[in-house]
Amino acid sequence: MDLQLTGKTAFITGSTSGIGFAAARALAMEGVRVILNGRDAAGVSSAIERMKKIVHHGRIEGMVADFSKPDQIKLLLDQLPEVHILINNVGIYTSDTFFDTTDEDWQHQMEVNLMSGVRLSRRILPQMLNANWGRILFLSSECATLVPADLIAYSTTKAALQALSRGLAQLTVGSGVTVNIIVPGSTLTEGAVTFLEKVAAAENKTPQSVSKEFFTNVRTSSLLQRFATVEEVASTIVYFASPLAAATNGAVIKVDGGSSGGIL
């Protein structure tokens, strides 16, 4: 299938690893000029080199910005080229009880997880509307509705992204621009692998058995009953970033293995 993406430019926040890197890699393989993003120059450079070893024909670039730092955000916004595809993927979390999560923790997560998308969309959406084409995708989480007790702040930011995405979509009426939100479930990112290995070592188990127990005891609502791969999530992202997905706008697109339940 030709996704008709050759020649487009995509900016993917938080894309030096995990879902962001996988999405950038998949876009690059479709002929997209991809601009990676991370908090430090070394991490961005390393990600570019890793991707160039996989995608030999692609145009791979990088921009450094920590979305909790206003001066870096301003510089990024000033330097961004015209972007056809914006993927708001960056996200951080603090695992703690509600009562021990400080105002600073809340503010930090809101700045990075929510306000990064607000600021980038405010900068890029007008250009897309003028060009009558563009794709904005936000990355939420199943935690937006399946809220863990130790991730209330994080889950709140991810739920807020769904309202933001729908609101921005309503600004695109009659244009060739779409705004949608992707909701991954439990995904086998590098961080998830590290977590499984840590728990396995502490409990004298294998990572595979810990993973199986997670779905048996914790994420019982999952129909998939395993972690999704980053490639599976990235495939969904790339399709909805393409011209072929023109009829989908303002949607919540679940890639959660059926964990959220219901039919909506």
Asked whether 187 and 233 are in contact (CB, 8 A), the reply is yes
Q: How far apart are CA 21 and CA 27, in angstroms?
A: 10
Helix or strand holding residue 93 (H, E): none
**Inter-residue contact 122 to 174 (CB < 8 Å):** no
Q: DSSP letters along 179-245, please? A: EEEEEE-SB--HHHHHHHHHHHHHHT--HHHHHHHHHHHT-TT-SS-SPBPHHHHHHHHHHHTSGGG
Kindly state the tokens that stand for 150.
């130790």
The contacts of residue 97 (CB under 8 Å, 6+ apart) are 149, 150
**Residue 154 designated active-site:** yes
User: How many Å apart are CA 154 and CA 114, to the nearest integer?
Assistant: 10
- Check 93, 154, 215, 240 and give the catalytic one: 154
Let me know how long the chain is.
Answer: 264
E-only strand ranges, 30-133: 33-38, 60-64, 85-88
Give bridge partners of residue 255 from the DSSP assignment. 184
Catalytic residues: 154
